[in-house]
Amino acid sequence: MPRTAAGSAVLSPARIRFALIALALGGFAIGSTEFVAMGLLPDIAHAMLPQLWAANHEDANARAGWMVSAYALGVVVGAPTIAASAAKLPRKKLLLWLLVAFTVATVAAALSPNFGSLLVFRFLCGLPHGAYFGIASLVAGDLMGEGKRVRAVAFVMTGLTVANIVGVPAITWVGETYGWRVAYLFVAGLFALTFVAIAAAVPWQPGNPEQTFRRELSAFRHPQLWFALGMGAIGFGGFFALYTYIAPLVTDVAHLPQQPWVPLVLVVCGLGMFVGNLAGGRAGDYSVKLTIFASFGAVMVSLAFTGLFARIPVLLIIGVFLVGAAASAVAPAVQSRLMDVAHDAHSIAAALNHSAFNIGNSLGAYLGGVVISFGFGYRAPVWIGLVLTLLGLVIASASFLVERRTGRLRAHTRPLELSLPAVR
């Protein structure tokens, strides 16, 4: 029986796989709650904004996109706050409490009486997002062992990408058939199932008794942390500018019927994300820098392709796959970069990645809605996405240029010791 990376507790390979799958199941549930709004955006707009929908469908869809921004804002606020303040808590206990919060907030969103309350509950649902992925990535890294940190991050996020292949299309179908409220109740059930799986499978890990809120926040003193946050927040906004409005892109630009094409295109995007996430995880363990540059470049090319050929259904589908693959390859590399530049503040660094990406989520959704509301059509967010990705690439270039000139950071060239307590 192999030892865990922490070195003292002995776990069987089957137990390790079970624990990793349980952690990834949480990613599946989170991916479902975060992305199902994209497929159900017209249904939610019609149900929660009936007067605006009757006056102008485009304005109603753009307004409904605010719920994507509300969730993303919750992630931005919750990830550093929870991760920093809960660093002393046992990791398994913290994961379970985060899942309780997810379940309650998702049920509340499903029962929202009006659009305003829906925005509030989607914000609350976003609060535990980053902290869950951050802590789960640390636990997975310990279970998988040294030299596999980026792959551990990618494995946890595999649940999120699988959600886009299976969960989001299936729940979109449920929402289109039985109503969007039923869809969100289904998502709440996924969180409850994850609670049971983690309670049964994930080994106990103590928190770090020496870690303090102030020590975790010390990561913000490092300029390279801000560069890393910027490349994730701005650059990843390019993907969400496209993904938030994927349903009207399919129906109004490619002129495909909502059923079955919106769920099918979501499946294609999810497949791209799955492939890109795994490729990015392996490539990131080889070179974080090259993975970031190559992935951002690929996102730009695939967005340009999609924007130019979105009216042709088969080319739209190919473009969506390529955008999903390229964008997901960025994620584990940027998270690894954050963990490198944050030095000892591992918990907050692992969570901040999701704050950054959800700033991009909010920014892409908001700017996409703005250009739609100004009458530029549903292809306009794709071009907004291209500009955001270009800015992310510029920030990444500036980060590595400053690093080369100062010579202050060498951690990204070697594996980072997670220094986790023993698992038992």
Domain span at 211: 13-412
In a domain, 144, yes or no: yes
Digit-coded pLDDT (tens) for 382-411: 999 999 999 999 999 998 888 887 765 444
Whether the pLDDT of residue 413 is over 70: the answer is no
Confidence of residue 414 (pLDDT cuts 50, 70, 90): very low
- The reply to whether 4 falls in a domain is no
* Residue 422 is assigned to a structural domain of this protein: no
User: Bigger pLDDT: 154 or 100?
Assistant: 100
Q: How many domains does the chain have?
A: 1
> Do 396 and 231 form a contact (C-beta atoms < 8 A)?
yes
> What is the average per-residue pLDDT within 270-274?
87
Let me know: does 142 contact 6? Beta carbons within 8 Å: yes
Q: Classify residue 230 by its DSSP letter.
A: H
Task: Tell me what pLDDT residue 210 has.
Answer: 64
Q: Which residue has the higher pLDDT, 326 or 346?
A: 326
Q: What pLDDT score was predicted for residue 1?
A: 42
Q: Cα 148 to chain center, whole Å? A: 20
Residue 344 lies in a domain: yes
What percent of the chain lies above the pLDDT cut of 70? 86
The packing angle between helices 115-126 and 13-39, to 10°, is 160
Residue 370 lies in a domain: yes
Q: Are 124 and 74 in contact (CB under 8 A)?
A: yes
pTM (2 d.p.): 0.72
CATH code at 368? 1.20.1250.20
Q: What's the rounded Cα separation, in Å, for the pair 127 and 396?
A: 27
- Report the SS3 class of residue 209: coil
* Span 295-340, pLDDT tens digits: 999 999 999 999 999 999 999 999 999 999 999 888 878 877 877 7
How far, in Å, CA of 1 to CA of 4, rounded?
10
Chain position carrying tokens 């398994």: 92
* Largest Cα span, the chain: 65
Residue 417 in domain: no
| pLDDT of 101 | 95
Instruction: Give the span between the Cα atoms of 119 and 136, in whole angstroms.
Output: 27
Of residues 31 and 213, the one with the higher pLDDT is: 31
Tell me, what's the pLDDT at 415?
Answer: 42
Tell me the per-residue pLDDT of 41-77, one tens digit each, with 9 for 90 and over: 888 988 888 888 888 887 888 788 788 878 888 888 8
User: Is 117 inside a domain boundary?
Assistant: yes
Q: What is the pLDDT of residue 111?
A: 94
Q: Of residues 285 and 397, which shows the higher confidence score?
A: 397
Tell me if 38 is assigned to some domain. Answer: yes
